[in-house]
Amino acid sequence: MITSSEKQLPPGTLLTGKWNGRIYKLERLLGTGSNGHVYLASYGRSACAVKLGKDVSDLQAEANILASLDHREKGAKRRPFLLDVDDAVVDGAQIPFYAMQYVPGVTVRAYLRKHGPEWAGIIGYRLLRRLSELHDAGWIFSDLKNDNLLVSDYGQVALVDYGGMTANGRGIRQFTEIYDRGYWSAGSRTAEPSYDWFSAAVLWIHVLDEKRLLHLTRTLLPQNRDPGELLALVKTNSTLKPLSGWFEKALRGKFASTQEAAECWREAVHGASRAKSQPSSRIPAWMAGVFAVSLLLCVSLMAIWLFG
């Protein structure tokens, strides 16, 4: 099923919905997801994101997930994700699309590069809180990775690309190898909260220690892949080390709930910041050094004066 949506559409392209009649103007390409391209678009005076797909059923499946999330999270104080599902005719070919809420932000790695790794604490906590909401609604995000976690002002987080989201208990259908616990011989490919904990742990290793993680995946033989290898990276990384208790539990699926995972993260982050601030309250090493040198100087001068 090849349609013209395989290629990018130029900014300014108008999409007219065949069924609902709404007109969208494409502004720019935001990204390419698993089943199609996502554009920033305007509908009247409001902005939204429009995903154009290659395949009607794949796209509808994603729209169904968003609709179901909107339904199950009805009480939540947020705008609905899914705004419209329709088909448009572009260059004589029918293209299925859906419109959704536009999520501003940059990937978590880009955000930390700009604002510093100390933001990982709050972002990680918010991510786990969001996952906990999804898990409570019966969904496992499953394809959690750097590209799918967008961060905006003051560390606000949003998950994007819900195409891989899977009902609790079902088989994971979309994943990225290095984030997959099956790949690391750390458990099944069944969608359950612990599957997301594992990817969340890999996410932080990938974001904060990418070089060593990729080196590990390249050099490790398949039969030697083990969560212990990932833990070894954590314990030798200065930013991650203080959180190694959390990583141990996340990589081995040892939390009782996602809420507990979030709490444990929060406590670990506080512990890490306390540990960091302690050495600075003591006398810095250079000052102690200067003091020792001056004392030595003083003693030797006295010795010269007395016995010289």
Partner 1 sequence: MNQILLITDGGSNVGLSPVAAAAQAYEEGIVVNVAGVLDEGSLGEYGASEIAEIAKAGGGISRIVSTKQLSQTVQMMTRQTVVGTIRQAVNEELRQVFGVNSVESLPPPKRAEVVRVMEEMGETAPLKVALLIDASASMKPKLLAVEEAIRDLSLSLQARSGDSMAAVFHFPGEREDCTLDAPWTSSTERLGSLFGRLRMRGTTPTGPALMRVIAYFHESYGKIVSEDEHPASLLKRDDTDGMRSDYVV
Q: Name the token pair of 102.
A: 């536009």
Q: Which is nearer to partner 1, 67 or 103 (CB)?
A: 67
Active site residue 55: no
CB of 63 to partner 1, least distance (A): 7
- Taking the C-alpha atoms of residue 209 and residue 180, their distance in angstroms, rounded to an integer, is 17
Residue in 143, 161, 180, 196 annotated catalytic: 143
Q: Which is nearer to partner 1, 174 or 294 (CB)?
A: 174
Binding site for partner 1 (CB under 8 A): 19-20, 56-57, 60-61, 63-64, 67, 85-87, 94, 96, 169-173, 177, 182-183, 188-191, 222
CB of 187 to partner 1, least distance (A): 9
- Taking the C-alpha atoms of residue 145 and residue 125, their distance in angstroms, rounded to an integer, is 15
Strand partners, 156: 152
Tokens 């969608």 sit on residue: 191
The closest alpha carbon to 268, from 125, 146, 156, belongs to 125
Q: Which is nearer to partner 1, 87 or 136 (CB)?
A: 87
Neighbours of 118 (CB within 10 A): 13
Q: Which is nearer to partner 1, 8 or 190 (CB)?
A: 190
Neighbours of 12 (CB within 10 A): 9
- Taking the C-alpha atoms of residue 150 and residue 148, their distance in angstroms, rounded to an integer, is 6
CB of 137 to partner 1, least distance (A): 17
CB of 52 to partner 1, least distance (A): 14
Catalytic center residues: 143
